[in-house]
C-alpha cells in the first residue's frame, strides 16, 4: 500500500495502488506534486509510516525501490540521497541500519521541537507552580518571584507542576488530533479513541508521570548543585519582570491552542458530514471541546491574576533578604539598602 501526502494541507490519503516507476521518477525529478509515502494498514487518513520489528514491509519495500533504481542504471549508491520527515524519519533510521551501503546521504527529519517539548512544557509548568506558591516582590512595574529553595524543591510544587503540565495537554492533544483542519497536519491518530474528545485517559496519565519525573529530576539536580555551592559563589543576573515569565509563557501556550480550537470549531473548515464518536457531528463536538477548554483554563488564569494583584502576596523585607542569600543578585540587593 502506498499513500500521498499533500504538503499544502498536511492531509494524508491512502491510495490502493502501487507507485509506478514513472511516479517515482517524476518525484525524484521534482515533477510529482505530492510526496510518496508508504502505508502498511488499510486506514483512511493513516499515518504515513507505521511499522515495528514484526512488520518490516515499509523499510524492505523502500530498499527494494532503491535497488531497482540502481540496477536500472538510473542512479548509483554514491549519488542516491533520501529524506524522511516526522514519521518518515523513523523509516530513514530503519533503512540506514538495514542497508547503509545503498545511500550516500540520509536525512531523518524529526521535528526539532519534539525532542524539547516535554522538557520545555514541564519546566514552564514547574515555574508556574512556583509562582502560585511564592511571594512577589514589586518594584514599580518590575515583578520578581521570591521563591526559597525549600519551596522550589517541595513536594507540593512537584505535584502542582505535574498537574499544570497535564492541563496544557488537556487543551493541546484534542486540537492537535484535529491537525488535518489546520496547518499542523494529521500527524497521529488513536486506534482506540478515548473518552476525552477521542483522547484516551491513559495519555493524560502518561503526561502526569513524565512531567512528575522531569520536575523531580530538576529538583534533585538543583538540591545537589546547591549543596556543592559556596555561599556567594554564584551571582544571578537581574531580569526585569522575571516573576511574570512563567505565567505568561504558560498562558500563551494554552491560549494559542484554545484559539486554534475555536477557529476549527467556528470557521467552517470541518466538512458538514464529518462525524466522530459514532454518529456525533464533529463540528458540535469541537465546539464543546472549545467551551470545555475555556472552563478549564480561565479559572487557573484568574487565580494567577488574583495572586499577582492581591496585597497578601507581597514579600516582606525579611523574605526578600533570605531569598537573596540563596540566589544572590547584586542589583536587587541594592534595592534593599
Task: Name, of 10-24, 108-122, 311-325, the range with top average pLDDT.
Answer: 311-325
Q: Clarify whether residues 277 and 199 are in a common domain.
A: yes
Overall domain count for the chain: 2
Specify the pLDDT at position 273. Answer: 63
Specify the pLDDT at position 155. Answer: 96
Q: Which of 109, 135, 165 is the last residue of a domain?
A: 109
> What's the pLDDT band for 26 if we cut at 50, 70, 90?
low
DSSP, res 10: T
What are the backbone dihedrals phi and psi of residue 34, each rounded to the nearest 5 degrees, phi first? -115, 145
Closest CA to 156 of 188, 176, 133, 137: 133
Specify the pLDDT at position 261. Answer: 94
Across residues 135-151, what is the average pLDDT? Answer: 89
Q: Clarify whether residues 101 and 52 are in a common domain.
A: yes
Q: Clarify whether residues 124 and 264 are in a common domain.
A: yes
Specify the pLDDT at position 263. Answer: 93
Across residues 237-242, what is the average pLDDT? Answer: 85
Q: Quickly list DSSP for 148-165.
A: -HHHHT-HHHHHHHHHHH
pTM greater than 0.85 (yes/no): no
Closest CA to 187 of 110, 280, 292: 110
What is the C-alpha separation between 217 and 225, in angstroms, rounded? Answer: 12
Residue 180, domain extent: 116-336
A 10 A CB-CB count for 280 gives: 11
Q: Clarify whether residues 26 and 175 are in a common domain.
A: no
Specify the pLDDT at position 161. Answer: 96
Mean pLDDT in the chain? 79
Whether 32 contacts 15, CB under 8 Å: no
Residue 118 C-alpha cell reads as 516535554
Torsion of CA 12, 84, 30, 71, to 10 degrees: -120
Count of residues in the chain? 337
Q: Which of 109, 124, 156 is the last residue of a domain?
A: 109
Q: Clarify whether residues 101 and 124 are in a common domain.
A: no
Closest CA to 164 of 9, 315, 304: 304
Residue 274 C-alpha cell reads as 464529518
What SS3 class is residue 99? coil
Q: Clarify whether residues 316 and 245 are in a common domain.
A: yes
Q: What is the per-residue pLDDT across 36-77, written as a single tens digit (0 to 9) for each? A: 433 333 333 333 344 444 444 567 778 888 898 899 988 999
Q: Clarify whether residues 147 and 169 are in a common domain.
A: yes
Distances (CA, A) of 330 to 257, 261, 269, 319, 323: 39, 45, 54, 16, 13
What is the C-alpha separation between 276 and 272, in angstroms, rounded? Answer: 12
Residue 32 C-alpha cell reads as 510529482
Residue with cell 531523518: 108
Q: Clarify whether residues 162 and 227 are in a common domain.
A: yes
Residue 160 C-alpha cell reads as 502542582
Q: Which of 62, 79, 109 is the last residue of a domain?
A: 109
Whether 175 contacts 260, CB under 8 Å: yes
Q: Please say if the pLDDT value at position 32 is more than 60.
A: no
Across residues 291-317, what is the average pLDDT? Answer: 93
What is the C-alpha separation between 66 and 74, in angstroms, rounded? Answer: 10
Q: What is the per-residue pLDDT across 77-97, written as a single tens digit (0 to 9) for each? A: 999 998 877 667 777 877 888
Please give the angle made by the CA atoms of 25, 31 and 34, to the nearest 5 degrees: 95
Q: Clarify whether residues 7 and 137 are in a common domain.
A: no
Q: Clarify whether residues 274 and 214 are in a common domain.
A: yes
Q: Clarify whether residues 45 and 179 are in a common domain.
A: no
What SS3 class is residue 106? strand
Residue with cell 540563596: 326
Q: Clarify whether residues 90 and 154 are in a common domain.
A: no
Amino acid at each position: 500500500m502506498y499513500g500521498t501526502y499533500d504538503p499544502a494541507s498536511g492531509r494524508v490519503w491512502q491510495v490502493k495502488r502501487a507507485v509506478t516507476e514513472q511516479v517515482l521518477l517524476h518525484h525524484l525529478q521534482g515533477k510529482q506534486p505530492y510526496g510518496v509515502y508508504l502505508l502498511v494498514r488499510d486506514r483512511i487518513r493513516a499515518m504515513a509510516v507505521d511499522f515495528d520489528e514484526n512488520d518490516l514491509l515499509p523499510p524492505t519495500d523502500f530498499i527494494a525501490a532503491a535497488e531497482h533504481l540502481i540496477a536500472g542504471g538510473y542512479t548509483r549508491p554514491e549519488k542516491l540521497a533520501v529524506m524522511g520527515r516526522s514519521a518518515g524519519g523513523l523509516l530513514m533510521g530503519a533503512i540506514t541500519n538495514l542497508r547503509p551501503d545503498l545511500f550516500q546521504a540520509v536525512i531523518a527529519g524529526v521535528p526539532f521541537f519534539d525532542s524539547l517539548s516535554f522538557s520545555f512544557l514541564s519546566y514552564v509548568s514547574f515555574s508556574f507552580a512556583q509562582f502560585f506558591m511564592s511571594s512577589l516582590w514589586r518594584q514599580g512595574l518590575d515583578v520578581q518571584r521570591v521563591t526559597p529553595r525549600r519551596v522550589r524543591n517541595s513536594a507540593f510544587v512537584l505535584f502542582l507542576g505535574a498537574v499544570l503540565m497535564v492541563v496544557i495537554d488537556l487543551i493541546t492533544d484534542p486540537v492537535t488530533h484535529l491537525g488535518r483542519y489546520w496547518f499542523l497536519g494529521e500527524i497521529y491518530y488513536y486506534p482506540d479513541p478515548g473518552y476525552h474528545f477521542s483522547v484516551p485517559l491513559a495519555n493524560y496519565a502518561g503526561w502526569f508521570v513524565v512531567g512528575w519525573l522531569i520536575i523531580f529530576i530538576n529538583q534533585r539536580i538543583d538540591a545537589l548543585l546547591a549543596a556543592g555551592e559556596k555561599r556567594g559563589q554564584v551571582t544571578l543576573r537581574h531580569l526585569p519582570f522575571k516573576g511574570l515569565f512563567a505565567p505568561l509563557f504558560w498562558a500563551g501556550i494554552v491560549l494559542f491552542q484554545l484559539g486554534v480550537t475555536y477557529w476549527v470549531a467556528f470557521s467552517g473548515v470541518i466538512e458538514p458530514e464529518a462525524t466522530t464518536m459514532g454518529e456525533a457531528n464533529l463540528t458540535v463536538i469541537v465546539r464543546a471541546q472549545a467551551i470545555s477548554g475555556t472552563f478549564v483554563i480561565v479559572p487557573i488564569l484568574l487565580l494567577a491574576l488574583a495572586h499577582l494583584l492581591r496585597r497578601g502576596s507581597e514579600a516582606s523585607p525579611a523574605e526578600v533578604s533570605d531569598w537573596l542569600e540563596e540566589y544572590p543578585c547584586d542589583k536587587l540587593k541594592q534595592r534593599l539598602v
